[in-house]
Structure 1
Amino acid sequence: MSYEMEKCTEGEIGSYAVSAIPSKDANMRLKKLMKGLRSKFGGPKFDPHLTIVGPLSLTREDALLKFKEACQGLKAYPAQAKAVSAGNSFWQTVYVLLEPTPQVVQISDHFDAHFGNDRSTPYMPHISLLYAHLTEEEKQEAVEEVKELDDTINTMSFTIDGLELDKLTLGDETLKSWVKVAEYKLDTLY
């Protein structure tokens, strides 16, 4: 596990989220696709990730402790793309929807339990490809662009082999305030 230091005061409350990170090959493929979308539709640059839990208000110390405890004994697990879709918010402009397989859902449930998160809506596993303010027509155009850039992305199978704890500032659409606090490499598949 590695840690990055961000400027914060001991006991200061911040917003923290845990994400699953796709394997290197999937990551490269997704980054290429995301770059193509940004070149046409704009939006901030960010790394491919599957949000597992958060953002939650915690101290850095509490977030790190919960993250370390939750990571113990976890293994890499498979994920399967299901469709490319557009959402109704900046944070879900265009994304790859994943199959809610038992492994994918159990990891989210596991972190919810460790972080004391009472999820108010069903978990929708997805990897965002683009964050932007687009009209409905532009979103559909972006979904079509995904198909042109990578016509099999909606059937991609890959491995989740890393977890990451991030500190973020809610509402920061530039993502410049996002800081990776810790990462955990997952070994061997379940």
Structure 2
Amino acid sequence: MEPADQSPEEVYSVWALTPEPVRSRLRGVMDGLRAAHGGPAFEPHATVVGAIRLRRSQAIEMLRAAAVGVSPYTARVTGVAPRRLLLLPVRLPPARTYSRAYMPHVSLLYGDLTDEEKEEARKKVEELDKNICGLQFEISELALYRTDTEDKTLESWELVEVAHLEKK
């Protein structure tokens, strides 16, 4: 019998990994936004479950359970929403949304921006990629990341495990 996981609770997120060439396309937009507004670099991804506090073994089990029986699926960018983080809302099929209260999204920029700067950044997204709204891409991998929300540099963010979605 395995001893109970005594690791500390940490903050984890589940990301849908974007495929190439979508990843490169998003990276180009993100690089352009950082050049204009600063902020840390991070991998392009769609967050499907954000900032949950669990022990590592619980988080890994949650990812594995979420991926069981799930086939690859199509995500679609539905707009640019300049909130605290500039993000692209992503529409997923209803069965793929893990929490009704959580809006899956692709973050493009992290930082503390004024409302005016957020609007400038929103316009910059449209300049950098006029066709980003409506962008569709297949999700075939979910990843568990340790994402300490207090770390504004994002340097402590760590890939823990990847689950590959299998075609039925």
The TM-score, its normalising length taken from structure 1, stands at 0.79
The match for 1:18 among 6, 14, 19 is: 14
Alignment of 1:11-160 (within 5 A): 11-87=7-83, 89=84, 93-99=85-91, 101=92, 103=93, 105-109=94-98, 112=99, 122-160=101-139
Opposite residue 45 of structure 1, the aligned amino acid is: A
- The letter for the 2-side match of 1:107 is R
More helix per residue: 1
SS of the aligned residue for 1:44 comes to coil
| 1:4 aligned partner | none
Q: 2:147 aligns with which of 165, 168, 182?
A: 168
Aligned-pair CA distance for 1:125: 2.3
Aligned partner of residue 125 in structure 2, secondary structure: helix
Cα distance, 1:142 vs structure 2:
0.7
Residues paired across the two proteins, number: 164
Identity value in percent: 35
Q: Which residue of 2 aligns with 1:3?
A: none
Identify unmatched segments of 5+ residues in structure 1.
Answer: 1-8, 113-118
Quote how far apart the aligned CAs of 1:72 are.
Answer: 1.6
SS of structure 2 residue aligned to 1:83: coil
Runs of at least 5 residues in structure 2 that lack an aligned partner in the other structure: none
Query: 8 Å contact 2:48–2:105 — kept in the other structure?
Result: no
Q: Which stretch shows the higher mean deviation, 38-47 or 73-82?
A: 73-82
Give the aligned CA root-mean-square deviation in angstroms.
1.8
Name the SS for the 2:48 alignment partner: strand
In 2, Cα distance between equivalents of 1:83 and 1:54? 19
